Amino acid sequence: MAVSFYTQSRKEIAPIWIRIREGSIDAKARTLISVQQDRLVKSKVVLHRITTGEPEHKNILRQKNDFLNVVQIQLDALRREVQSALNKRDGTELIDSKWIKNIVQPTENINLLSANIDAFLDYKKPLVKTNTFRTYTNLKTLINRFEKENSTLLVSGINLKFRDKFLKYLNDNGYSNSTTILYIRILTTILKHAKKRGVKVSDDIDNFKDDLKNKKTLNVYLTLDEIKRIFELKDLTPQESIARDWLVISCNTAQRVGDLLKYDKKDIKLDILTVQQTKNENSFPIRIPLLPQVKDILKKYVGNFPPQLNPNPQVSYVYYNRLIKQVCRKAEINDEVKTLTYQKNNIKEDEVSKVIIKKKWEVVSSHIGRRSFATNYYGKMPTALIQAITGHKTESSFLLYIDRDREVDIENLSAMMLEISKQ
């Protein structure tokens, strides 16, 4: 029987399907392996061709090829597994899509955490918004990666010891405190859903949310001088250089990391970048003037935006968070900032349980570019114009977002007011 692999999604990173054909038999199923959809040709993974060029670009292609080599190894192993099952079957066994799915996506053990996450996703998909469902699938990706680095997870083993280990894994990989807490809460919901379906779960799940504290970093943004220092920084590794360029672009364009890393040169016309925000997908597109630093970076990449740090967007986000901390440390972004730790559900400053002083580079994350843009231009140009770029729908939500304690350019503001009053 002919065994082939293909993709059918138009997304950049697409799941790989397997197909068995012979005579009247035509069975197919989705595997648990994904790849850039243009890299799978005639059942084979095609590597990027590395030719002469900039060392940074060549290094990026080598890293992408390392990832693609792993995918090819996985496909070869899966092909052998399917061929072996075909050779062992008896004459009465029906070869259909269900048969092949049981091989490539074994679900006979309902105690597997991965199987229960899939069941939860199937249940929730028609009930929640696209962005909420995307958050669920992001957690699934993280759990799969965690399993590969550790061991297969059973629902019964998801206890407080696992929770703490998984929290550390998320923190070590650059996820913010609020994101790690969100993922633990979603995981708790998944486990309770499994319990309703009759799966045995640990009694610890009722205590998963205990001792989780929301940490808020006050007034953390990069000043225009700090952004300039980062922009001019030398002696970076190729990966750090790419992350630095994305960070500078972020500080000049004010978009969330999920939208930032999707920038494409085709969305630029007459030095205006048009962005359709994922979070506000039903709103009008955002139009952003390209500032000089962004233009210089585009020239560096021959009119393109910097390359991705990894073919998998979620992995790229993790690398980006980790690398921009290293970049800011090398740029000596060492001002002291306060991190406030709140008890659960407390939002008043007089109820702060602990104040931690850290260097600014330690608390830098992907959101700092967006916050820096809003704070740096607040008071220097009309708030409505800033909101037109950040996408905040109300001024009240925008004002909660920025650091209003920083010094306003009062001379510039006065000159603007005086000019308006003369009209």
At 410 the pLDDT is 47
- Does the residue 306 lie in any domain? yes
Query: How far is Cα 355 from Cα 367, in angstroms, rounded to an integer?
Result: 21
Q: Is 291 exposed, middle or buried (0-12, 13-18, 19+ CB in 10 A)?
A: middle
Last residue of a domain, one of 104, 123, 149: 104
- Same-domain status, 188 and 229: no
- pLDDT per residue, tens digit, the chain (423 aa), is 789 999 988 888 888 999 998 888 899 988 878 888 889 999 999 998 887 777 777 888 888 888 888 889 888 888 888 888 888 877 677 888 888 887 776 654 677 888 889 888 888 887 888 778 888 988 898 888 888 777 778 888 899 888 888 888 887 776 767 788 889 999 999 999 888 877 888 888 888 877 676 655 556 899 999 999 999 999 999 999 999 999 999 999 998 888 899 999 999 998 999 998 876 655 678 899 999 999 999 999 999 999 999 887 777 888 898 999 999 999 999 998 876 554 444 444 444 456 678 899 998 988 899 889 988 888 788 888 888 888 877 776 677 666 555 554 545 545 554 565 454
Number of helices followed by number of strands (H, E) in the chain: 15, 11
- Does the residue 216 lie in any domain? no
- Same-domain status, 371 and 276: yes
Q: List C-alpha distances in Å: 150 to 37, 147, 158, 166, 169.
A: 28, 5, 13, 11, 11
- Same-domain status, 175 and 261: no
Beta bridge partners of 2: 21
Type of residue at 77 = A
- Does the residue 219 lie in any domain? no
Query: In terms of residue numbers, what domain contains 135?
Result: 113-211
Closest CA to 375 of 394, 410, 346, 402: 402
Q: Which residues contact 235 (CB under 8 A, 6 or more apart)?
A: 330
Query: How far is Cα 57 from Cα 245, in angstroms, rounded to an integer?
Result: 14
Last residue of a domain, one of 51, 86, 104: 104
- Does the residue 248 lie in any domain? yes
Q: Can you tell me whether residue 208 is helix, strand or coil?
A: coil
Type of residue at 317 = Y
The two tokens of residue 247 are 């960070």
Angle between the N-to-C axes of helices 224-231 and 238-253, in degrees from 0 to 180, rounded to the nearest 10: 150
- Same-domain status, 347 and 384: yes
- Does the residue 308 lie in any domain? yes
Type of residue at 166 = F
- Same-domain status, 193 and 256: no
- Does the residue 182 lie in any domain? yes
Eight-state DSSP code of residue 203: G
- Does the residue 217 lie in any domain? no
- Same-domain status, 207 and 228: no
Query: How far is Cα 392 from Cα 371, in angstroms, rounded to an integer?
Result: 12
How many domains does the chain contain in total?
A: 3
Last residue of a domain, one of 184, 211, 238: 211
- Same-domain status, 239 and 192: no
- Same-domain status, 123 and 251: no
CB burial readout 334-371, b (16+ within 10 A) else e = eeebebbebeeeeeeeeeeeeeeeeebbbbbbbbbbbb
- Same-domain status, 159 and 180: yes
Beta bridge partners of 207: none
- Same-domain status, 60 and 160: no
Q: Beta strand 268-269 with 44-45: parallel, antiparallel or unpaired?
A: unpaired
State the CATH number of the domain containing residue 409. 1.10.443.10
Query: How far is Cα 78 from Cα 82, in angstroms, rounded to an integer?
Result: 6
Query: How far is Cα 38 from Cα 11, in angstroms, rounded to an integer?
Result: 10
At 194 the pLDDT is 87
Query: How far is Cα 349 from Cα 340, in angstroms, rounded to an integer?
Result: 9
Query: How far is Cα 81 from Cα 78, in angstroms, rounded to an integer?
Result: 5
- Same-domain status, 138 and 277: no
Place of tokens 């259909």: 96
Q: Beta strand 13-22 with 2-6: parallel, antiparallel or unpaired?
A: antiparallel
- Same-domain status, 21 and 72: yes
Q: Is 88 exposed, middle or buried (0-12, 13-18, 19+ CB in 10 A)?
A: exposed
State the CATH number of the domain containing residue 142. 1.10.150
- Does the residue 218 lie in any domain? no
